[in-house]
């Protein structure tokens, strides 16, 4: 019939199209949600009364378990814990020459990297891995908790209010993304600096394998690796304690953090730190621009958000796809460049590269590429919507959506 509009085809449940549609319209998804149209800042009001027990925008239940983990949410509590090893270390340094001369400081492994290679020169020290690394990671989990909470509470929340954000949910999300931008920006810059000191600069992949095992690490590389491990342990703790308001993909994020920690630990254990540094860099740099574009969306700088998102798309394409494919090609074609003496399973000698380890390395990176391709499709869809709806507004924010009952949302929609 003339003038009759053809109904839109509904994607079948279980298809890739259906999955993408669900994610793109899900206000509680960690990637798509923050790019939905925001409530005009002038119309936002925070109707919730202030609470003396509110920490980082959320009420803290004073159970015995919560009190024991107070350091994870209260910066002053974390700082007290951090100062104890510092004071003990300083006292040992001052008193040991008189009462325990020649004994190593037992508190040093908490603050500094351990297991220096004895015969490495002072002007080019090298470090191996060891059990004391676990003490370093444990201490810096508390350090990252202190840094995270201090930045989000004392810097990001006041900054968000200065931009006109009043919703508690948005204040929390703004703080989370700002902290992510700072962390990934710093770690990406640090990772690039470290790679510039290694033979793998810039993604000279043959050196992933030449002279393996690379178990004698430069100090910065070892510190960088353990700092990454401590950060991801702390982030897993954030999810477990629900310091960030759980999104609908909460379980997937927990699984992602567990897999990330497994990859960090495994690559560190089998002395593949050079390729590990390359993978870190390819992940951290795009995440910096992703978080920044989210911040611009929260403060409703729409045109800047789209421009930043386009830059992010280019960086994501290069780092998470092109460089990822280069690393996959290296694992498949350059694996045999390692010395013949290293192609065996002998942990005491620092070598683990028996023939089947090639596939143990290749498959996780391939799965990472497949996951990145899925996100890539979603990112392209988000960009398209951002360009076409740049001036669109909504009567509520994505975070406020999450707090409303489903029947209220349906009426609004």
User: DSSP label at 55?
Assistant: E
Confidence at residue 185, expressed as pLDDT on a 0 to 100 scale:
95
Can you tell me the mean pLDDT for 48-60?
Answer: 45
Instruction: Choose between 47 and 287: higher pLDDT.
Output: 287
Can you tell me the mean pLDDT for 17-42?
Answer: 55
pLDDT tens, residue by residue, 133-184: 999 999 999 999 999 999 999 999 999 999 888 888 888 889 989 999 999 9
Region of poorest pLDDT, from 39-43, 104-108, 178-182: 39-43
pLDDT band, very low/low/confident/very high, at 261 (cuts 50, 70, 90): confident
Percent of the chain past pLDDT 90, that is, above it, reads 42
pLDDT tens, residue by residue, 89-100: 999 999 888 887
Confidence at residue 187, expressed as pLDDT on a 0 to 100 scale:
96
Contact 229, 261 (CB under 8 A): yes
Q: How far apart are CA 125 and CA 210, in angstroms?
A: 21
Is the confidence at residue 14, as pLDDT, over 80?
no
User: DSSP label at 29?
Assistant: -
Its pTM surpasses 0.95: no
Q: How many other C-beta atoms can be found within 10 angstroms of the C-beta atom of residue 6?
A: 5
Is the confidence at residue 40, as pLDDT, over 70?
no
Confidence at residue 391, expressed as pLDDT on a 0 to 100 scale:
45
Percent of the chain past pLDDT 70, that is, above it, reads 74
- What three-state secondary structure class fits 160? helix
State the sign of the Cα–Cα–Cα–Cα dihedral 118, 123, 127, 133: positive
Region of poorest pLDDT, from 78-82, 91-95, 342-346, 370-374: 370-374
pLDDT band, very low/low/confident/very high, at 308 (cuts 50, 70, 90): confident
Confidence at residue 372, expressed as pLDDT on a 0 to 100 scale:
82
pLDDT band, very low/low/confident/very high, at 364 (cuts 50, 70, 90): confident
pLDDT band, very low/low/confident/very high, at 222 (cuts 50, 70, 90): very high
Confidence at residue 392, expressed as pLDDT on a 0 to 100 scale:
40
Is the confidence at residue 401, as pLDDT, over 60?
no
On average, the pLDDT of the chain sits at: 79
Is the confidence at residue 203, as pLDDT, over 90?
yes
- Give the number of residues written for the chain: 413
Confidence at residue 297, expressed as pLDDT on a 0 to 100 scale:
85
Query: Could you write out the DSSP letters of every residue in 79-108?
Result: HHHHHHHHHHHHHHHHHHHHHSTTPPPTTH
pLDDT band, very low/low/confident/very high, at 367 (cuts 50, 70, 90): confident
Confidence at residue 329, expressed as pLDDT on a 0 to 100 scale:
96
Residue 59, phi then psi, degrees to nearest 5: -75, 130
Is the confidence at residue 59, as pLDDT, over 70?
no
Confidence at residue 49, expressed as pLDDT on a 0 to 100 scale:
38
Confidence at residue 238, expressed as pLDDT on a 0 to 100 scale:
77
Is the confidence at residue 402, as pLDDT, over 50?
no
Residue 200, phi then psi, degrees to nearest 5: -85, 0
Is the confidence at residue 225, as pLDDT, over 90?
yes
Can you tell me the mean pLDDT for 314-334?
Answer: 94
User: DSSP label at 9?
Assistant: P
Query: Could you write out the DSSP letters of every residue in 97-143?
Result: HHHSTTPPPTTHHHHS---B-TTS-TTS--B---TTHHHHHHHHHHH
Is the confidence at residue 228, as pLDDT, over 50?
yes
């Amino acid at each position: 019939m003339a003038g009759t509009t053809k109904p839109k085809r509904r994607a079948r449940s279980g298809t890739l199209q259906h999955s993408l549609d669900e994610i793109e319209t899900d206000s509680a998804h960690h990637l798509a949600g923050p790019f939905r149209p925001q409530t005009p800042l002038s119309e936002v009001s925070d109707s919730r009364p202030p609470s003396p027990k509110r920490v980082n925008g959320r009420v803290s239940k004073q159970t015995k378990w919560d009190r024991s983990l107070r350091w994870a949410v209260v910066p002053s509590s974390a700082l007290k814990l951090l100062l104890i090893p510092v004071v003990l270390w300083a006292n040992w340094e001052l008193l040991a020459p008189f009462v325990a001369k020649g004994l190593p400081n037992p508190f040093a492994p908490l603050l500094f990297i351990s297991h220096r290679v004895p015969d490495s020169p002072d002007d080019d020290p090298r470090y191996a891995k060891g059990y004391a690394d676990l003490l370093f990671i444990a201490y810096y989990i508390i350090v990252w908790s202190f840094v995270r909470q201090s930045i989000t509470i004392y810097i990001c929340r006041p900054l968000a209010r200065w931009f006109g954000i009043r919703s508690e949910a948005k204040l929390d999300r703004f703080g989370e993304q700002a902290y992510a931008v700072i962390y990934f920006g710093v770690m990406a810059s640090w990772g690039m600096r470290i790679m510039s000191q290694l033979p793998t600069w810039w993604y000279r992949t043959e050196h992933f394998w030449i002279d393996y095992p690379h178990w004698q690490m430069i100090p910065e590389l070892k510190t960088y690796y353990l700092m990454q491990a401590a950060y991801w342990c702390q982030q897993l703790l954030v999810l477990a304690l629900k310091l960030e308001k759980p999104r609908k993909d909460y379980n997937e994020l927990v699984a992602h953090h567990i897999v990330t920690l497994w990859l960090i630990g495994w690559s560190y254990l089998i002395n593949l730190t050079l390729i590990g540094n390359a993978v870190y860099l390819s992940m951290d740099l795009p995440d910096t621009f992703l978080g920044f574009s989210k911040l611009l969306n929260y403060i409703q700088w729409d045109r800047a958000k789209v421009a930043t998102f386009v830059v992010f798309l280019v960086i994501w394409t290069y780092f998470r796809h092109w460089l990822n494919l280069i690393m996959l090609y290296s694992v498949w074609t350059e694996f045999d460049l390692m010395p013949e003496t290293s192609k065996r399973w002998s942990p005491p000698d620092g070598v683990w590269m028996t023939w089947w380890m090639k596939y143990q390395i290749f498959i996780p990176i391939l799965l990472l590429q497949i996951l990145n391709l899925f996100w890539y499709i979603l990112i392209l869809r988000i960009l398209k919507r951002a360009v076409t709806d740049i001036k669109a507004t909504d009567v509520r924010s994505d975070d406020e959506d999450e707090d409303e009952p489903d029947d209220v949302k349906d009426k609004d929609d």
